[in-house]
Structure 1
Amino acid sequence: MTGRLASVNIGIVTEAQWAGDASGRSGIDKRPVDGPVLLRTDGVAGDFIGERAHHGGPDQAVYAYAGEDAAWWTGELGRDIGSGAFGENLTTHALDVTGAVIGEQWAVGSALLQVTKPRTPCRTFAGFWGVPDLIKRFTARAAPGAYLRVLREGEVGAGDPVAVVDRPAHGVTIGEVFRALSLEPELLPRLLDAADLPEGLREKARRRLAGPS
């Protein structure tokens, strides 16, 4: 399966009351850039991340969101939702991001990426869009986008093909993980089948399945 990058987006420093970190700064406002961008194991070269306690790191080095899902929000809200508006580094086209399997690998430009986990909506996101009930609506939509590890550092740019070169047989998808943790707890046992899911989420699933201690 092959899609392509509609854009590569880099965060600018935004100072606002809704910004999540202690200094009141956020990098959620990401803008498309021209030319190649280096994806490193610790993140995207030139990107700004404000609240590092919840964003960034090897399991969240890159964030991808599908342009088709952004188009749905454009219709839902009646306003243009452009590339980077979800705080994503990579806006994709013709790629099923919600249906991506945990651990699957994407070859993009000279980089190799691995799908790790869904994005969890936060109050910074709601503040940036100016939609007070966005967290509730984003959760109900259950198209959260995917965080990615960088298995091989490399450069990517708008128009690059995105080829799914490896897909684990367990079949646990980004959408299933998101719904298991937010909407459908009956899916929690499935999360334990996904060996490449970050250990913090696997442990969260174990705790919820164990029930009150």
Structure 2
Amino acid sequence: MKVLTVNIGAIRPTEDSSAGVTGIDKRPVDGPVLVSDPGVKGEGGSGLAGDGIGDLRNHGGSDQAVYAFAREDLDGWERELGHPLANGAFGENLTTGGVDVNGALIGERWRIGPRLLLEVTSARIPCRTFAAQLGQRGWVRRFTQEAAPGAYLRVLRPGEIRAGDAVEVVHRPAHRVTVAVAFRAATTERTLLPEVLAAGEALHPELLESARAYAARAGDRNAERPA
């Protein structure tokens, strides 16, 4: 399991984001890249030095510091779409090889390179900026139906990484909440929300709040039913 490329993007104007700018166009870079905690969402952007985040309201911050996507899944989309997809084409910071990104557990920890330690927090939710980047009509629905979204990770210990670094899973929680399950709970299968609570505080705070609220409402409805 390894990082095939480390990808960063420059901020550019766009009409496809409410922020008016985007950094989704990521390209592989040579040499080591420092990865560190960018700070709270809305203020901090990407965890990768030199990587631009346009819409700070919806992207970036500590719990979405790094986005990883598997080369194997890019290859599948290449066949589906009928044209090449370069590493970074989905806006991912890390294009991985041999890593089951969508099967990773929320709270799973990856050591990359000599020091960097990351923790899986959530799945990527597609947006219209992503659709515009791909130039595909109906892309958000299509990507959502596939339910192989790639993973967001937070930085537990900063460090430098580069292409070719090994990815070592150093911790796997006891629950069964994968990135794919968390994605379905957040999008097409809201009834899964109570199940993702098993991931606890490792879960992205926004999804954790949604899951708690859903479970509370479900509990209230059950309490109101006659015995």
Q: Give the TM-score band, short-chain normalised.
A: over 0.9
Q: Take 1:55 and 1:199, find their aligned partners in 2: how far apart are those partners? A: 13
Establish whether residue 84 from structure 1 lines up as the match of residue 82 from structure 2. Answer: no
Within-5 A mapping of 1:107-122:
107-109=111-113, 110-122=115-127
Q: Which amino acid aligns with 2:23?
A: G
Deviation at 1:188, TM superposition (A): 1.7
Establish whether residue 168 from structure 1 lines up as the match of residue 164 from structure 2. Answer: no
Q: Take 2:152 and 2:50, find their aligned partners in 1: how far apart are those partners? A: 18
Q: Which amino acid aligns with 2:34?
A: L
Establish whether residue 205 from structure 1 lines up as the match of residue 211 from structure 2. Answer: yes
Secondary structure, counterpart of 2:154 in structure 1: strand
Structure with more helix by fraction: 2
Could you tell me which residue of structure 1 aligns to residue 37 of structure 2? 41
- How many residues are matched? 209
The answer to which of 34-43 and 199-208 deviates more is 199-208
Q: Take 1:167 and 1:178, find their aligned partners in 2: how far apart are those partners? A: 19
Could you tell me which residue of structure 2 aligns to residue 72 of structure 1? 76
| Sequence identity percentage | 54
Q: Take 2:143 and 2:37, find their aligned partners in 1: how far apart are those partners? A: 28
Q: Which amino acid aligns with 2:212?
A: R
Within-5 A mapping of 1:144-159:
144-159=149-164
| Aligned pair partner of 1:4 in 2, 5, 8 | 2
Q: Take 1:100 and 1:13, find their aligned partners in 2: how far apart are those partners? A: 30
Contact between 1:113 and 1:152, CA under 8 Å: does it hold in 2? yes
Q: Take 2:199 and 2:173, find their aligned partners in 1: how far apart are those partners? A: 8
Within-5 A mapping of 1:87-106:
87-106=91-110
The answer to which of 182-191 and 37-46 deviates more is 182-191
Contact between 2:194 and 2:214, CA under 8 Å: does it hold in 1? no
CA deviations 1:8-41 (Å, max 9, x no partner) are 00012222222x143x211000000011100011
Q: Which amino acid aligns with 2:180?
A: G
Deviation at 1:164, TM superposition (A): 0.3
> RCO greater where, 1 or 2, for CA within 8 Å and sep 6 or more?
1
Deviation at 1:171, TM superposition (A): 2.0
Structure with more strand by fraction: 1
TM-score by length of 1: 0.94
RMSD (Å) for aligned C-alpha atoms: 1.4
| Aligned pair partner of 1:27 in 23, 26, 29 | 23
Q: Take 1:182 and 1:77, find their aligned partners in 2: how far apart are those partners? A: 23
CA deviations 1:62-102 (Å, max 9, x no partner) are 11001101111101100111111111100000000000000
Unaligned runs of 5+ in 1: none
Unaligned runs of 5+ in 2: 39-46, 222-227
Contact between 1:12 and 1:31, CA under 8 Å: does it hold in 2? no
Deviation at 1:103, TM superposition (A): 0.4
Q: Which amino acid aligns with 2:179?
A: I
Deviation at 1:199, TM superposition (A): 2.4
Contact between 1:21 and 1:50, CA under 8 Å: does it hold in 2? no
